[in-house]
Structure formats: C-alpha cells, structure tokens
A and B are shown apart, each in its own frame.
Chain A
Amino acid sequence: MSDTARTVAGKAFTVADTQPGRRVSPRGSAFDYAFQALCFAAATALLASLGGVLVSLAIGGWPVLSKFGFGFLTGKTWDPVRDIYGAAGPIVDTIITSAIALLLSLPVAGGVAFFLTELCPSFLKRPIGTAVELLAGIPSIVYGMWGLFVFAPFFAAKVETPLMSAAPPGSMWETLFSGIPNGSGILSASIILAIMILPFMAATLRELLNTVPAQVRESAYGLGATTAEVVLKVTLPYVRRGAIGAVMLGLGRALGETMAVTFIIGNSHDFPKGLFDSGATIASTIANEFNEASGLQASALIALGLVLFVLTFFVLALARLLLRNPEA
C-alpha cells in the first residue's frame, strides 16, 4: 500500500519539478517509515501481551508443575497447609459449571434469537434487540451480586430444600442433589453463569441469523415451509459454522468468568459430590486465594491460571476460526 502510494506521490511531484525525471519525495515522507514502524510495533505489542500472559504463567507456575508433574492435574487434594496441590477439583468444577450453563443457556438464547429474527413484530424488534445487546454489556459482578443476595436465598428455600427432601433415600437423585441447601453451590453457579452468557449468545446468534440473505428465507417460505422449518432447516444450517462458533465463544466466557461465579459457588476445593455441593472453579480459586498466597501456593494458583489459559485458548481459537467464515 505505502510503496505504491509513495511512487504515485513521487510522480506527481516530478511533473511540477523543473528537472524532469528526478523523483522528489513529498516533504515529511521521511516519517513514513517511522510511522509504519510505530504501527508495526503496536501490532506486535498485542502479540507480545498474549505471549507474555502465556510465558509469565508458565514461569510462575513452574515450581508447582515441576514438583507435582502430571499429578497436579489429577490430584484431588488442595491443601495449602501441607503444601499439597492437586487441581482436579477446580478443573472439573470449571468444566461442569460451564457445561451446565451452556446447556441451560443455549436453548433460551436460540429461542430469543429466532424470536427476534422471525417472529417478533417489527415495532418490538429494535427495543428488544437493543435491550439484549445492552444486557450483554452489564458487568459480571452485578450478576454475581444478584446471585448472592437475591437468587441464592430463593433457590435454597424453593428449589434445593424441596428437591432434597423429595429425593428417595439411596437413589441416584439423592446423590445428585446432595450438599448443603444454602443456595450456593455448583448448580447455582451454573444458573447464574447461564443467565450471564444468555444475552451475549443471543445477540451473537441474532447477528448471524441476520446475515442470511432475504432470498434464502423468502424462497423457503415461498415453498410453503412453516416458521419452524425455515429456521431449523434453512437459516440455521446456513450459518451452522458461525452458530457453533458463537456457542464456543459463550463457552469461552463461561470458562473464564470470575466474578459471577466466585460469589455463589461456595468456594470449597473438595472434589464435588453433588449438584448442590460447594465447589470452586479455577478462576474463583485464583480470585479468592491469590492475595493471601505466597510461595508454593502462589505458584499453584498461577499454574491453575495456565491450565485455564490453555483451556480457553483452544475453545476461543476454535470459536474464532468457525466465526471467521460462518457460511463455509
């Protein structure tokens, strides 16, 4: 780009110049190289910050990783007093809460997106669409607070206690619903996460569905397809790749979410036994313990961060690859 630009500029000047054939660069063009270098440096700074995250986590986590090796990932004990660190609890909790959140959130987000693109009367489209997009920007700590003060007491009284007393003793349900019915725990955290990623996924899915050409949709209707058939057999398959990407993006958010989860998961490092049991995700463990940690514990928390980085990097990279060309 810049090379052609300079040549063109040079020629323009030769015409005006008294000495034909001599190329004169416009005044100030010496800075061109500096400007390009500056822009390049800024772009490289981006790469450096992502690389820096990885390298700093690897260095900081090395003492624990070298001491426990693979056992760090599989160990179930997290005991700062005896300096034994196994991250299986937080890792499993992170994956479970994110998976449940995605399962709960996906059908609702899909429903909202379908409603907005196919069913919504046009005078409601803008307000509801805008509301969904604005809600996607609400800081996650607000969701966390709501979870702690409003949702948890309600959930404990109206859902957990009845379910626990209704579960037949000795059955699978009793195991699943075991824990302390205080409103915080793995299932509550998953629900809050689901509510938090809902507007985000709905907004992304809606944007994707809006990229389907009108002719495609109209020809499907023209063939006599019902709304359900148009959405499920025509428009959704049309943006299939992108839709999977959007879901992965939501998953990436859920995996790395800190504040919404820390408030309500109960913060216990024991391996989870049931859905109402307290847990601790990777992010919530770091948020809770890092400031009081030193030595091997700090290193263990940074190593946990490295695990989270690798986990989310793959999910997000996949999401972006799929979203890049949503129709392929």
Chain B
Amino acid sequence: MATRASPVVIARRQIGNAVFVGFCVLVTAVALIALALILWSLVRQGASGLNLNIFTLDTPAAGSVGGLRNAIVGSIMMCALAMVIAVAVGVLAGTWLSEYAGTSRYGSVIRFLNDVLLSAPSILIGLFVYQLLVRPFHGFSGFAGGVALAIIAVPVITRTTEDVLKLQPISLREAGVALGSPFWHVVRTILWRAGASGMITGALLAFARISGETAPLLFTALNNQFFSWNMTKPTASLPVVIFNDALTPYPDLNKLAWAAALLTAGAVLAVTILARIFSKEPRRS
C-alpha cells in the first residue's frame, strides 16, 4: 500500500524543524553577543588603563601611580621556566608513548592519566606544589610557581607530541634505521623534525594555557610588590596581580587589573592564533 504522509504530519515536522532551526540560530547569536560583550568590556576598560607607565613602573600601593613591570617580568620568567621543563618532559614522555609504549598496559594507563591531568583543577596542582616545594623550603618562590605551571603544561605537550609522532609513517623510521642509524638518532633527527610543526603547535597551546593560570600561582609564587629577577623569592605575576587588585575597593587598582587582564588575554589570543598558523592541519583534541 503506497502511503503518503498526511499534510498534518508534514506540517508538524516542518514546524518542529523551524522551531529547532530558530532555536539554534537564536542561541548562537546570544552566545556570540555575550562573548563579544565580554571582550568589548575587556578592551574598553583595559585600553583606558594602558600607558607607558604599565611597562616602566612596578605595582603600586593604593593611591599612587604604578605599572605592571614586575608582574610582566615575573610572568615571563615563570612561564619560561615552566616551558623549559614542560617541553623536555612532555616531548620525551610523548615520544615514549608513541615509540616505545606500544599497546602495553602501562602505556595505556599513562595515556589515560595524562588525559585526566589535562583538565585536572589547576588549584590542586598549586596545593601539591605548595606541599612539595614551598613548605619544605620555607618560602614561596618563583621556581615553585614555574614548576606548578610546568605540571599544567606537560600533559598538553605530551598529548600533541604523541599524536604528531604517531602520524609519521613507519617507513620513515625504517628508512633511518636501514641507514645504520641508532634508533634514538632516528627519533631525534627524523621523527622530531618531521613532526616539528605539530610539536611547536602543542608547545604554543601549552604556553597559552599556562600564561593565564592564576590558581596554581597563589600558593606557590605568591606575589611581590617590587621588581626582582630573583626566582628563589616570591615573584609577581600578571594573573595574581589581577586577582589581588580587582578585589580591592580602589578604582585605580581596579583599572590596573583591567589593563593586566587585557595584556594577559591579548597574549593568550596572540599565541593561540600563532599556534593555529603553525598547525598545518585542523587541531584535534
């Protein structure tokens, strides 16, 4: 029996579809507008606080003129330290997962825990490093902050390194080994080079991730009102300055916090865009 959908059914389906499409378009518009509003207030409030003092003066006490020099330098130092540690550990760990682990049970456990660590609450990393490095050595330090950030960056780099190396064809490894190269040499001179663009992308994404992190720095690097290159002492950072200054009742400090937020978000966005340029293929999560 040939059946034809009754007009009522067709109308119902069409109305249902129109409602669905309308909903999707509406929420997308609302979401984009909300996020645009956030960026807009960030730019508007932040830009009004930006001036040369930001880069030449240190964080002020309430009521005096100041800038963010110590926080900018502190952030850069701690992120640099974190990246050095994280790239070394992350690349090696990713190499192990891709080249040596195979399908071993230990390999899959590490892979799984790495994924969990990838989105573990960063404040807990801060507590961990506090117990590991701050309490035993009786003092907050830039080193502790750098280590905390490194622990957050390592899983990102491990993950991308493993993914990128796994994409390299087996014949590449065989060719290197057939030339009489020891395997570590094949990894270093062939595989890492072949995967360089992907690994750089991973490192940049990790850098973007840690440069805005606040929670792990609160109990490790603490803060420092003064300019200092000494990473064995408490070290200022942009996110912690934002946190402290935004919660004060002083408008000039709030303004400074907005400027710091704009700088941080700008840096994060710039690095993320750079990472997208470096990656030849769409990023996989």
The chain A residues found within 8 Å of chain B, CB to CB, are 1-2, 5-6, 8-9, 12-13, 25-29, 31-32, 34-36, 38-47, 49-50, 52-53, 56-57, 59-60, 107-109, 111-112, 114-116, 118-119, 128, 130-131, 133-135, 137-146, 148-150, 195, 198-199, 202-204, 207, 226-229, 231-232, 249, 252-253, 255-259, 262-263, 283, 286-287, 290-291, 301-302, 305, 308-309, 312-313, 316-317, 320
B250 CB–A CB distance under 8 Å = no
Given contacts A253-B119, A308-B121, are A32 and B184 in contact (CB under 8 A)? Answer: yes
One of B97, B115, B131 near A320 (C-beta < 8 A): B115
The A-contacting residues of B in range 193-230, CB under 8 angstroms, are 205, 208-209, 211-215, 218-219, 222
Which of B22-30, B53-61, B63-71, B76-84 sits within the interface? B22-30
B236 CB–A CB distance under 8 Å = no
**Residue in A closest to B177 when the chains form the complex, CB atoms:** A5
Given contacts A108-B30, A290-B218, A302-B127, are A228 and B113 in contact (CB under 8 A)? Answer: no
**Residue in B closest to A8 when the chains form the complex, CB atoms:** B177
Q: What B residues does A107 contact at CB under 8 A?
A: 27
Given contacts A49-B151, A50-B113, are A146 and B100 in contact (CB under 8 A)? Answer: no
Scoring A43, A45, A258, A259 by chain B CB atoms within 10 A of each residue's CB, the highest score goes to A43
Contact A39 B215 (CB under 8 A): no
Shortest 4 CB-CB distances between A and B: which pairs? A139-B212, A256-B121, A39-B96, A111-B27
Given contacts A142-B264, A142-B265, are A43 and B96 in contact (CB under 8 A)? Answer: yes
Given contacts A139-B239, A145-B258, A287-B218, are A9 and B182 in contact (CB under 8 A)? Answer: yes
Contact B113 A47 (CB under 8 A): yes
Contact B16 A259 (CB under 8 A): no
Q: What B residues does A283 contact at CB under 8 A?
A: 121, 123, 215
Contact B182 A56 (CB under 8 A): no
Q: What B residues does A40 contact at CB under 8 A?
A: 96, 100
B14 CB–A CB distance under 8 Å = yes
Assembled-state Cα–Cα distance A7/B132 (Å): 44
Given contacts A115-B25, A207-B285, are A56 and B132 in contact (CB under 8 A)? Answer: yes
Min CB distance A7 to B, Å, is 9
Count of residues in B whose CB is under 8 Å from the partner chain: 104
Min CB distance B102 to A, Å, is 7
Q: What B residues does A115 contact at CB under 8 A?
A: 24-25, 27-28
Where chain B touches its partner, the secondary structure class is helix
Contact B45 A227 (CB under 8 A): no
Q: What B residues does A32 contact at CB under 8 A?
A: 182-184
Q: What A residues does B21 contact at CB under 8 A?
A: 119, 227-228
Assembled-state Cα–Cα distance A242/B109 (Å): 20
Contact B17 A228 (CB under 8 A): yes
Assembled-state Cα–Cα distance A205/B267 (Å): 26
Known A36-B96, A287-B123; 9 more pairs at CB < 8 Å? A46-B89, A56-B128, A57-B127, A57-B131, A198-B31, A202-B31, A228-B20, A256-B119, A256-B120
B164 CB–A CB distance under 8 Å = no
Min CB distance A224 to B, Å, is 9
Assembled-state Cα–Cα distance A253/B41 (Å): 24
Chain B 230-254 against A: per-residue CB contact (8 Å), 1 yes, 0 no?
A: 0000000001001100110000001
Contact A135 B35 (CB under 8 A): yes
Assembled-state Cα–Cα distance A56/B258 (Å): 35
Assembled-state Cα–Cα distance A225/B74 (Å): 58
Min CB distance A31 to B, Å, is 6
**Residue in B closest to A141 when the chains form the complex, CB atoms:** B214
**Residue in A closest to B258 when the chains form the complex, CB atoms:** A145
Min CB distance B60 to A, Å, is 19
Min CB distance A311 to B, Å, is 9
Contact A46 B113 (CB under 8 A): yes
One of B107, B119, B214 near A139 (C-beta < 8 A): B214
**Residue in B closest to A24 when the chains form the complex, CB atoms:** B180
Q: What B residues does A45 contact at CB under 8 A?
A: 89, 93, 154
Contact B212 A140 (CB under 8 A): yes
Min CB distance B139 to A, Å, is 13
Contact B109 A47 (CB under 8 A): yes
Q: What A residues does B90 contact at CB under 8 A?
A: 42
Contact B121 A258 (CB under 8 A): yes
B47 CB–A CB distance under 8 Å = no
Min CB distance B163 to A, Å, is 14
Scoring B88, B212, B284 by chain A CB atoms within 10 A of each residue's CB, the highest score goes to B212
Contact B116 A137 (CB under 8 A): no
Could you show 23 A-B contacts with beta carbons less than 8 Å apart?
A2-B183, A5-B174, A6-B177, A42-B93, A42-B95, A46-B154, A53-B124, A56-B132, A108-B30, A118-B24, A130-B276, A134-B269, A137-B272, A138-B269, A139-B211, A198-B35, A228-B19, A249-B119, A258-B122, A258-B214, A259-B243, A291-B222, A313-B120
